[in-house]
Structure 1
Amino acid sequence: AGLSDLLERNRKDPAKCRVLAFTARAGEGLLSPCSEHGMIPIRRSLLPLAALLAPVLMLHGQQNNVPLERDIYLDLDRNHARIDTTGTRRVHTGMRPYIESRADLTHVMGYRPDSSRHYYWATEKLFKEHLFIVKDGDVHLTIDPVFHFELGQDFNDPTEFSDTTRFYHNARGVSVRGDLGPRFSFETTFYENQAIYPQYLYLYSQRTGVVPGQGRIKGFKNRAYDFSWAQGNVSWSPATWLNVQFGHGRHFVGNGYRSMLLSDNALNYPYLKFSLLSPNGRWQYTTFHAKLNELERLPTGEAAESLFYWKRMRVHHLSVDLGRVQLGLFESTIFRNIDSAGVRPFEPMELNPVIGLNRVVNGSDGDWTNILGADLKWKVTDRLFVYGQFAIQDADRQAWQGGLRLFDLFGRDLHVQVEYNHADPFMYQARPAVMAHHHHGQPLAHPMGGYVDEAVVIVDHRVDRFLFRAKVNLATYHVDGADSLNYGSDLLKPYVPEPGPDGPVVRQLTFLDLSASWLMNQMTNMQVQLGWRGRDLTNAPAQLQSGYLYVAWRTGLFNRYYDI
């Protein structure tokens, strides 16, 4: 009966009818109401299977992005680790976030069926469903509160800052997601925040003017910050092979924890994106145009608050699926659009849709900042894949990554990730500094900038609604002993080496992140979490150490990178 109702509701849409009827092959029994579209009777013995598959298949009509958050992509990465021997489940994983219609959403947080029973409206909404749901034919709308309420204490900062400060994060917002028919979707999310962070994050925000990956700061009650941010997009797929998005958000290239090409570490930015998928799913080509900001403002005018200097970025990514192997080619180009003399003439190459052509025109030392790269993923087994990246600005400035992901270790819901990252000195820097590979003072690739080596190990274990995570970062990075020096780690300085007699200050970072969470509602990744973030930094002042114990009640729809 459930499948019959589903077919009846979609009888006027040939594409949906064919997908639904395909889940139950021909045979005697129930006649599909899609017969007007040339479909055939549905076999009764397959109705239970079809009823189970139909909701999953229907999800693939949505064009929204899957929220770019690690807990959610853990399920996706496990699905996409399976070896596809038939060529019917190709999913290109090198460019994120995924479009829902192109991802395998089976058993993915926020999309999987929830059979738990709740006998009250309030408990249904708190533990199982979206807060508000509107369904009217092909129109589907959800509205949810998003928030982050956290209290903590830093036990490893010996300074007065920790003794006299109570740390907290108070964030409130709303998330709206909708589908207007099978081809058009939209989403919007807004957060308003007040927070006091451990001192190393406080000092980082003082220097860059932003909370890592979240918002531009304003002072609030002594040591607190007030900041807000928003993201959203409209997504349109006029055909299965084309998706067009206009939005304000972030992207991530690769299959690792970090990306040496483009990560979601920095603030959101406005973009216009086109993504093309071949008919057989063998290749996917993505290109988008984005507007990036600098920390410096334009001269004061009539406006109460001047705009920031801006630049634009064009990104190309070509992904080819070769069965067990996925290969991606990457190019990003940053164009300067405004300087002290005013707005520059429009550069036609900003509209170039062809990967590699900007490099040919600009070379490795032209006026634009151009990075070429590649990413690789090899499925060794259904539970193991290895991955890597390579990025290059010129012969002297390169970066690379190597790693592996292992799923369901010992047959349980236990997952392991091991990764190593390296960036040469002056990687991502530019001459002048405003043309560097950063946005609003934050790196667009590795959050520590250049001249860094880092090993990352992550272990995730799930037991029913509980998630336990342990992550350790071991990094060696180099800082300038004075503002007048430049050894190639600080992206806010120009690509002009300024060595000193003693060399750079070498620091060893050990960052331990432990957490235990209970999942309240999968629709917004609502969790109650207890955690510890320990930061030990050698050859550094006491205020840069941290041992932060916290408890939080939060929703999780984006990544936070505090391991810097």
Structure 2
Amino acid sequence: MKHLVKVIALLLLTGSAFAQEKLPVILPYNYQNIRELYLDTSNHHTAFKPILHVDTSAMYTQEDTTRRSWIYRKLFQEHLLEFRNKEYNVFIDFLPDFQIGKSREGGRTNWLNTRGAIIQANIGSKFYFESSFYENQGKFPYYLDQYIRRNDIVPGQGGIKSYSEGKAFDFNYANALLSYTPNKYLNFTMGYGQNFIGDGYRSLILSDITFSYPYLKVTANLGSVQYTAMWAQFMDKHSKDFAQAYDDLGYYKKWGVFHFLDWNVSKKLTIGLFDAVIWPDADSSGRKRGFDWSYMNPIIFLRSAEFSEGSSDNALVGANAKFKLFPKVTLYGQLVLDEFKLKEVTSGKGWWANKQSWQLGFRAFDIFKVKNLDFQGEYNAVRPYTYSYKSTLINYEHYNQSLAHPLGANFQEGLGIVTYKYKRWYGRGELMYAMYGDDPNPETNYGHDISKPYTTRVNEYGNYIGQGVRTNLLYAQGTIAYVLNPKYNLRVETSLAARRLSNDISKSTDLIFSLGLRSTFRQFYYDF
């Protein structure tokens, strides 16, 4: 990858950093920005997030010239530190996330102590940079506590260390992004963070539920078509023994290459096509493979390249689509094929390698003609063994979490989310029901846990969603917040969540209350 970095560096040096034309930039990922894009009469490319879009935010302009005290402005209007100039802007903020709460299961007192900081900067309209770091200690509700101990991670936030005599966890993580847009046709982004492909709350293609990872992304815009190629490096925490091959230089690595072609067919319809390949950095014997340069060509059919290599790399293909049914109602959907044989699919015999997933949903804005009252409904289904592979060295997973859906595979899910914004008040309600087939013991594999090799499958045929121990999961959450400073989403927030899980082996019910001072637009997924 060294040669590619040199090429990008050359482009950075030769490009004019102070052009005045409006160019695509990284759009900050938050509810209001996304909402505006869906309501715009134009059909924007909204699937690949962070979204590349002509900047319409207030980042490059000075707001509210009314004379206010320094304390008032910093608490309610401005970034902590602001350096504004015609040629550049720099913003620095302190990001607290302090929470205290109670959960009924186990009578636990839960808390979170996060101190974070972020710096955002632009030079002209071509360069954008941001970096953030978070130091955390926390004690979580019982179901999350058990998940964290079992997987050795806090969901989406990396590895853990024992804290407070083993009753809580210490963890930290960082994100970074450097974007360069030499002209209106191209963008180069190097980052350490997450990406998301889709128009839904969940993504079955590539989700942002995981821990940060390094990536390089090239995006091309030509008329109504946007094409993105991304290369990323992931970590396999399951295969700790293989780290010895690198003299304890870290966890075992694997690579991924992703292509996404997004076409605005009309002002109402957008169709996106996706393919990806995951390959190991080294084999199970420790033999180094490294980055495979045959996947470097950004315009390529990955399945053909993978086949021509004579390899058993993990290849997936998929599609994403959205359709603006009405000015304020958008339908969307996804389809992912991990393995596909038409004869086996049409036979209806439930062949184990019929590994597919699909999504259907909608977004409705200003429902009942109430401004800023929005609703989202979504259905997701994933067949058994989807995203799994022969080993975790090559499956669709990073840092012990799926790169797609937090429930893994062998499930179907329905959810509804309602949001409302009034001035600085914000409310959100979510109701989610999922049914999945769990394994009765660690040695059995019915296709729910994608970290288990599909070679340990129970049946060759007769595999259907919900097989194994049928488990019902109901999750509901309500949140009310008052936004103190919209620049970095500093808010006072209170939340109440109810979770009920039941199957023939066990049952659990929990009611979780929390109150806190929170900031940033980070998205964490605890609804599983």
TM bucket normalised to smaller: 0.7 to 0.9
1:362 positional shift: 2.6
What is residue 336 of structure 2 aligned with on the other side? 391
Amino acid paired to 2:338: Q
Equivalent residue letter for 1:403: G
Do the aligned residues in 2 keep the contact of 1:291 with 1:310 (CA within 8 Å)? Answer: yes
Partner of 2:485: 521
Query: Take 1:102 and 1:203, find their aligned partners in 2: how far apart are those partners?
Result: 43
RMSD after superposition: 2.6
Query: 1:87 maps to which residue?
Result: none
Q: Distance in 2 between matches of 1:62 and 1:141?
A: 19
Q: Give the aligned partner of residue 231 of structure 2.
A: 289
Match of 1:66 among 1, 22, 27: 27
Aligned residue among 454, 463, 485 for 1:495: 454
Unaligned segments of structure 2, at least 5 residues: 1-15, 341-353
Cα distance, 1:230–1:387 mapped onto 2, change above 3 Å: same
1:529 Cα deviation from its structure 2 partner: 0.5
Q: Once the 2 structures are TM-superposed, how far is the Cα of residue 332 of structure 1 from its aligned partner? A: 1.3
Alignment deviations for residues 421-474 of structure 1 (CA, whole Å, 9 cap, x no partner) = 000000100112321111011000011000010001001111111111110111
**Percentage of pairs with the same residue:** 29
Q: Distance in 2 between matches of 1:545 and 1:118?
A: 52
CA distance in 1, matches of 2:61, 2:491: 17
8 Å contact kept, 1:76–1:105: no
Check the 8 A contact 1:76/1:104 in 2, yes or no. Answer: no
Q: TM-score, normalised by structure 1?
A: 0.82
> Does residue 400 of structure 1 match 2:358?
yes
Mapped to 2, the partners of 1:534 and 1:193 lie a distance apart of: 25
Matched residues in 1 for 2:319 and 2:243: separation? Answer: 40
* CA shift digits 1:237-292 (9 cap, x unpaired): 111111101110111101000001000011110001100011x3x10000110000
Partner of 1:218: 161
Secondary structure, aligned partner of 1:91: coil
Cα offset, 1:187, TM superposition = 0.6
Name which of 309, 319, 323 aligns with 2:262: 319
Partner residue of 2:280 out of 321, 336, 352 = 336
- Between the aligned partners of 1:125 and 1:62, the Cα distance in structure 2 is 29
Name the counterpart of 1:204: 147
Residue number among 174, 179, 184 corresponding to 1:235 in the alignment: 179
Q: CA deviation at 1:105?
A: 4.0
Question: Hey, what's the Cα distance between the residues in 1 that align with 2:87 and 2:480?
Answer: 39
Q: Structure 1 residues 450, 191: closer, same or farther in 2, change over 3 A?
A: same
- Kindly indicate whether residue 193 of structure 2 is the aligned counterpart of residue 249 of structure 1: yes
**SS, match of residue 455 in structure 2:** coil
Correspondence for 2:393? 434
- Is 1:154 paired with 2:103? yes
* 2:469–2:504 contact (8 Å) kept in structure 1: no
Mark the CA change 1:361 to 1:537 in structure 2 (over 3 Å): closer, same or farther.
same
Task: Tell me, in whole angstroms, the C-alpha distance in 2 between the residues paired with 1:197 and 1:543.
Answer: 19
Residue 223 (structure 1) shift: 1.4
Indicate whether 1:140 and 2:71 are aligned.
no
SS at match of 2:68: coil
Measured in 2, the distance between the counterparts of 1:384 and 1:116 equals: 37
Aligned runs of 1:40-59 on 2, under 5 Å? none
Task: Give the distance between the partners of 1:172 and 1:277, measured in 2 at CA.
Answer: 38
Contact 1:472 1:513 in 2 (8 A): yes
Amino acid across the alignment from 1:190: F
CA deviation after TM superposition for structure 1 residue 111, in Å:
8.6
The residue aligned with 1:414 is 373
Question: 342-351 or 211-220: which moved more?
Answer: 342-351
The one-letter amino acid paired with 1:318 is: L
Native 8 Å contact 1:78 1:407 kept in 2? no
Query: Which among 44, 48, 65 is matched to residue 91 of structure 1?
Result: 44
Counterpart CA distance in 2 for 1:510 and 1:202 is 18
Q: Which residue of 1 aligns with 2:298?
A: 353
Q: Does the CA contact (< 8 Å) of 1:488 and 1:497 recur in 2?
A: no
Aligned to 2:27, the other structure's residue is in SS state coil
- 1:79-115 per-residue CA deviation (whole Å, 9 max, x = no partner) reads 323333xxxxx5211111113x436548xxx799865
Residue from 198, 216, 230 that aligns with 1:272: 216
Please give the TM-score of this superposition, normalised by the length of structure 2.
0.87
CA distance in 1, matches of 2:68, 2:126: 35
1:102 matched to 2:17: no
Structure 2 residue 135 is matched with structure 1 residue 189: no
CA-CA distance at 1:13 after TM superposition: 9.7
Structure 1 residue matching 2:405: 3-state secondary structure: coil
Question: Do the aligned residues in 1 keep the contact of 2:23 with 2:54 (CA within 8 Å)?
Answer: no
C-alpha distance in structure 2 between counterparts of 1:364 and 1:150, whole Å: 51
Is the contact made by 1:82 and 1:383 (CA closer than 8 Å) also made in structure 2? no
* Structure 1 position 310 matched with structure 2 position 263: no
Q: Say which of 127, 134, 142 aligns to 2:76.
A: 127
Q: d(CA) in 1 for partners of 2:32 and 2:383?
A: 30
* Structure 1 gaps, min length 5: 1-11, 20-59, 85-89
Residue in structure 1 matched with residue 510 of structure 2 by the alignment: 546
Cα-to-partner distance string for 1:284-333 (whole Å, 9 max, x where unaligned) = 00011000000133444897x64100100001000001221011001111
Q: 1:105 to 1:321 in 2, by over 3 A?
A: farther
Tell me how far apart the structure 1 counterparts of residues 400 and 458 of structure 2 sit (CA, whole Å): 23
1:382 to partner: Cα distance = 1.5
1:82 matched to 2:40? The reply is yes
CA contact (8 A) 1:525 1:555 kept: yes
